[in-house]
Amino acid sequence: MEQTISTHIHLAPILFWSLMGTPMTPQNLLDNPLTTEKCTVGCPIIDRCLGGGIPCNSITELVAESGSGKTQFCLQLTLSAQLPSSHGGLSASSLYLHTEFPFPMRRLHQLSHTFRPSNDHNPCDYVFVQSVHSVDQLLDIMPKIESFIKNSSNSRLPIRLIVIDSIAALFRSDFDNTMDDLKKRSFLFFKISGMLKAMAVGFGLAVLVTNQVVDLMEPNEGVNGLRVGNLGCLYSSGRPICPALGIAWANCVNSRLFLSRNEDFVVRENQMVNGGVGGSGSEDFVCRRTRRSLHVVFAPHLADTSCEFEITREGVFGFER
């Protein structure tokens, strides 16, 4: 099965151009770029920033520090995937692999009231959850995942979305900073990403993987893949950071998105104090506001774009500046 899918990866673009009766040349690719099905995130502003949503047939990475909204983004995507294609979805179920904390089922149920594709089924029933605690466990269940996806192909909502939240947690505790461990870790990066890409192409899946960040101690070009992508340096919470797992992992994903989180202080004028009547009148009032932004670091189909978003009880939504 692995060999069949790998062959399909190399033949897919050639087969497309053969059916079109057009030789595959760089100029033809520029004039008639290949179109890829995408899955809506559930917000038109974010979808517009992403060129329609999360693409199928590839791996998209979502990088952010803790508390920036990675998991909220992933949960919303699993529900949006169930929407019909006429609404930007994939008419599909999702497989959610969580590696750190207990799966936030309560939050998924809360979001399901907003992103309910239809009234005849519970959308939470079509999000299949599996905990993964080590790299070895992930590799062990990969064949089972492939079989599970294959068996779902004839179901009402076949699986067409895989979420891994997060990939960094599987590697950060089991490997030391030695040459042998770094080589082994890089080998596992390519092995895991190769299996994910094979399934993505073979079954038309969208794959979303979250990654953590580390503080950037030396802001020099090229450090930890700093110059990979559109953004020369990533900032969140007022400090420079970079994606975990380094340059080797950066070469394993097709697209990288970055969520930033920063605190602003906003002055609101003429706020009444002590009730106004008989009190001390009015004065300026300072409050703290969290600003979140989504940035495209690199993607073969996207320009350097970004948008601001907020996390509410109903979900993750972008807004115009």
| Interstrand relation of 239-243 and 282-298 (parallel, antiparallel or unpaired) | unpaired
Mean pLDDT of 164-184: 84
pTM comes to 0.81
For 286, the enclosing helix (H) or strand (E) is: strand 282-298
Q: Is the pLDDT of residue 174 over 60?
A: yes
For residue 64, the model assigns a pLDDT of 94
Least confident of 34-43, 83-92, 148-157: 34-43
Q: Each residue of 38-64: pLDDT tens digit?
A: 999 999 999 999 999 999 999 999 999
Domain membership of residue 236 as a residue range: 34-271+284-319
For the chain, how far is it from start to end, CA to CA, in angstroms? 48
- Residue 73 has what pLDDT? 97
Q: Is residue 126 part of a domain?
A: yes
pLDDT band at 16 (very low <50, low <70, confident <90, very high): very low
User: Count of domains in the chain?
Assistant: 1
DSSP string, 127-149: EEEEE--SHHHHHHHHHHHHHHH
Cis peptide before 166 (omega within 30 of 0): yes
Q: What is the mean pLDDT of residues 234-242?
A: 83
Q: If pLDDT is split at 50, 70 and 90, which confidence band does 141 have?
A: very high
| Domain presence at residue 9 | no
Q: Does a structural domain hold residue 18?
A: no
Among candidate residues 102, 100, 46, the one with its CA nearest the CA of residue 77: 46
Is residue 3 one of the residues assigned to a domain?
Answer: no
Whole-number average pLDDT of the chain: 83
More confident residue, 242 or 26: 242
Asked if the structure places residue 5 within a domain, the reply is no
CATH of residue 106's domain is 3.40.50.300
Range name among 11-15, 138-142, 182-186, 214-218 with the lowest pLDDT average: 11-15
Per the domain annotation, does 62 fall within a domain?
A: yes
The pLDDT tens digits for 26-41 are 566 556 555 789 999 9
Residue 39 belongs to some domain of the structure: yes
Gap between the Cα atoms of 193 and 201, Å rounded: 12
Any domain includes 23: no
